[in-house]
Amino acid sequence: MGKATGFMEFERQTANERDPVERIHDWKEYSAPFSDEVAKTQGARCMDCGTPFCHIGMDIDGATSGCPIYNLIPEWNDLVYKGKWREALERLMKTNNFPEFTGRVCPAPCEGSCTVAINDPAVTIKNIEQKIIDKGFEEGWIEPRVPERRTGKKVAIVGSGPAGLAAADQLNQVGHQVTVYERADRAGGLLTYGIPNMKLDKDVVERRVQLLREEGIEFVLNTEVGKDISAEEIKAKHDSVILCTGAQKHRDLPIEGREGKGVRFAMDYLTKSTKKVLDDSVEVEEELDAKGKDVIVIGGGDTGADCIATALRQGANSIAQFGKHPQLPIKRSDENQWPAYPQVFSLEYAHKEAKENFGEDIRQYSIQTKKFVTDENGKLKELHTVEMKKTRDENGMFVFEEIPGTEKVWPAQLVLIAIGFEGTEQPVLEAFNVKTERNRVDAEYGDFRTNVEHVFAAGDSRRGQSLIVWAINEGREVAYHVDQYLMGETALPSVANM
Ligand SMILES: Cc1cc2nc3c(=O)[nH]c(=O)nc-3n(C[C@H](O)[C@H](O)[C@H](O)COP(=O)(O)OP(=O)(O)OC[C@H]3O[C@@H](n4cnc5c(N)ncnc54)[C@H](O)[C@@H]3O)c2cc1C
Ligand code: SF4
């Protein structure tokens, strides 16, 4: 695979990024795809290691290592190196319905487990994936594949995120009539309203949705199942139903001053900001506009990073991001060895932008928010914090202790709460009467059936907030089981058979 000596000859290179100072003046994607030549050289670094850990997704210490959809990485790296782009595309499409999404925003757990990464920088897998699919679209190789035969079976999918779209694609291709119900005005789930445009251009999402439409999938938008249409009606009209409703129940921070104007959930902010980017005539409350404000993002994860990049583009006066945990080490620790996902310090796109524009890394570690303070009109004016020490208790569990004397007051007119999600929103689950466990639909992986006849569940609604690549995995796997349930057999692929 690749060039036998490629990993010794060529340095790792990642996709070029646009200048962080320039790019915050628009909402276009921040990363520029590889040229053909760079992709070939990078593909050549794949070393024919014999046991490629990169293409088998598994869980190590609670984090994903390797590719959850079993992308045939060494095979397409070799084909790219040899300039066989069309064959590389065919190989890629065997396992991944939407490489244009993962190639842009997957955190690439494949690269952490790449064999080259034992003692050298990993093969640049994700950027090659994007290059293959982007070239496929540019060359006109991606065309609607309308199934020749229909089975007469009808499947309803509730939710149009990556899990719903992947399930819809698979089931449509084997001839079932698929209808996707979505409460938002655009399809895509968090691909559309969650991940901002500069990370994943919404035209890229819409291009795929349009292709799925042309292939025969029906999308019913602006329709909340359980409210605008009853669960009973959906069940009566279809032979099977798949719940792919995501896990967007916010985790709140119920401390003093939480009700103040200017203290909002990150998802409200990201969703409305993207709506405005897509249609300038959309009205967004002044409270959610970061222009000229001191913005504080509470939560150290990706959602928080997306808030930073959005606030920068809106013209925030200052931005700080608070995380509860200490800064990660520069190199892997002894407890975090290859092939586990590398838990190391990194500068995400948003952090690079903030650093270049404000002159310093805006992240604050080991910090806890104690209260929000508002002015006489109920508008947020400041936020009070204390620093925390992370230690282990007598049972070896991590605990956080406040450090006396480290209290601080931060001026702020907009605070965005991005401390995660508590699971699936309840109304749709109550409408279908499905059992839940810790706010997730109770349906076992590798079976996906709920307690209700004909009703299955997949994606974040079943797994909890996760990754796009896992949502695609679950969409493909639930399709395999639904097809088998409807037809008594299936020709669809499953990672269990690979
Ligand atoms: C801000 C943010 C950034 C992220 N960035 C990344 C990233 O860079 N890389 C990555 O891999 N992952 C990222 N993730 C995680 C990733 O987006 C999710 O894991 C993934 O989208 C889950 O897919 P899903 O299809 O299960 O659910 P979702 O994408 O959440 O889609 C669920 C859909 O169901 C719809 N729905 C819910 N209830 C109903 C109903 N009753 N009727 C009709 N429709 C309904 C919702 O409107 C939504 O469109 C991010 C998450 C967030 C919040
Ligand atoms: S989908 Fe993600 S994990 Fe899989 S090959 Fe692509 S970047 Fe790697």
Total tally of structural domains belonging to the chain? 3
Ligand 1 center to 207 CA (angstroms): 18
In this structure, which residue's CA is closest to atom 2 in ligand 2? 108
Which ligand does the CA of 271 lie closest to? Answer: 1
Percent of the chain clearing pLDDT 70 (strictly above): 100
Count of residues in the chain? 498
- The type of residue at 437 is E
What is the per-residue pLDDT across 424-466, written as a single tens digit (0 to 9) for each?
988 999 999 999 999 999 999 999 999 999 999 999 999 999 9
Gap from CA of 115 to ligand 1 centroid (Å): 31
- 1 part of a folded domain: no
* Claim to verify: residue 244 and residue 270 sit in the same structural domain: no
Predicted local confidence at residue 327, as pLDDT: 95
Q: Is residue 284 domain-shared with residue 324, that is, in the same domain?
A: yes
Distance 288 CA to ligand 1 centre (A): 21
Residue 361 forms part of a structural domain: yes
Give the model confidence (pLDDT) of 387-402 as tens digits: 999 999 998 888 999 9
For residue 1, pLDDT over 70 is answered with: no
Ligand 1 pocket residue status of 467, Cβ below 6 Å:
yes
Q: Give counts: helices (H), strands (E), the chain.
A: 17, 22
Q: Of 419, 440, 473, at which residue does a domain stop?
A: 419
pLDDT at 223: 98
**Matching residue, tokens 């504080």:** 296
- Nearest atom within ligand 1 for CA of residue 195: 3
Mean pLDDT within 114-140: 97
Among 91, 110, 138, where does a domain finish? 138
Under 8 Å between Cβ of 195 and 306: yes
Q: Give me ligand 1 centre to Cα 116, in Å.
A: 33
CATH value at residue 295? 3.50.50.60
375 and 296 part of one domain:
yes
Residue range(s) defining the domain that contains residue 68? 6-138
Atom of ligand 2 lying closest to residue 102 CA: 1
The model's pLDDT over 401-421, given as tens digits with 9 standing for 90+, comes to 999 999 999 999 999 999 999
| pLDDT over 90 (residue 498) | no
Residue 473 in contact with residue 448, Cβ under 8 Å?
no
CA of residue 444 to ligand 2 center, whole Å? 24
252-255 contacts: CB < 8 A, separation 24 or more? 252/417, 253/298, 253/369, 253/417, 253/419, 255/369, 255/370, 255/371, 255/372
CATH code where residue 76 lies: 1.10.1060.10
Q: Nearest ligand, CA of residue 306?
A: 1
In short, whether 164's Cβ falls inside 6 Å of ligand 1 is yes
| Same domain membership, residue 186 and residue 328 | no
Residue ranges in 44-161 assigned as alpha helix (H): 73-81, 85-93, 99-105, 109-112, 125-138
- Ligand 1 centroid vs 11 CA: distance in angstroms? 35
Is there a single domain that holds both residue 258 and residue 392?
A: yes
Helix (H, G, I), strand (E, B) or coil at 35: coil
Cα(116) to ligand 2 centroid in Å equals: 16
Which of 454, 414, 167, 134 minimizes the C-alpha distance to 272? 414
315 in a structural domain: yes
Query: Is 143 a member of any domain?
Result: no
335 with 407, same domain: the answer is yes
Query: Can you give the pLDDT at residue 48?
Result: 79
In a domain, 149, yes or no: no
Residue 403 and residue 449 share a domain = no
Same domain, 134 and 187: no
Asked if residues 130 and 103 have their Cβ atoms less than 8 Å apart, the reply is yes
When the pLDDT of each residue in the chain is averaged and rounded to a whole number, the result is: 96
Protein residue with least CA distance to atom 3, ligand 2: 67
Residue to mutate (ligand 1; options 434, 436, 468; most atoms within 8 A of CB)? 468
Does the C-beta of 102 come closer than 6 Å to ligand 2?
yes
User: Three-state SS for 56?
Assistant: coil
Task: State whether 409 and 443 are in the same domain.
Answer: no
> Which of 195, 249, 310 gets mutated to test ligand 1 (max ligand atoms within 8 A of its CB)?
195
Residue 145, in any domain of the structure = no
Do 168 and 52 lie in one domain? The reply is no
Residue 440 Cα to ligand 1 middle (Å): 14
Looking from the CA of 239 toward its CB, the CA atoms found within 13 Å total: 15
In the listed set 84, 106, 138, which residue is the last one of a domain according to the structure?
A: 138
Tell me, in angstroms, the distance from the centre of ligand 2 to residue 195's CA. Answer: 17
Residue 103 pLDDT > 70, yes or no?
yes
As a whole number, mean pLDDT of residues 276-295 equals: 97
Same domain? 101 vs 216? no
Angle at 227 between CA 426 and CA 462, to 5 degrees: 35
CA 160-162-166 angle, 5° bins: 95
Q: Verify whether ligand 2 is closer than 6 Å to residue 234 (CB atom).
A: no
Q: How many A from CA of 373 to the centre of ligand 2?
A: 43
Residue 31 counted as domain residue: yes
Contact 474, 459 (CB under 8 A): yes
Q: Is 475 in the pocket of ligand 1 (CB under 6 A)?
A: no
Residue 489 is predicted with a pLDDT of 98
Spatial CA neighbour of 124 closest among 17, 30, 45, 37: 45
Please report whether residue 147 resides in a domain.
Answer: no
Are residues 260 and 338 located together in one domain of the fold?
yes
Query: Which ligand does the CA of 68 lie closest to?
Result: 2
Measured from the alpha carbon of residue 74, the closest ligand is 2
With a cut of 70, say whether residue 112 has pLDDT above it: yes
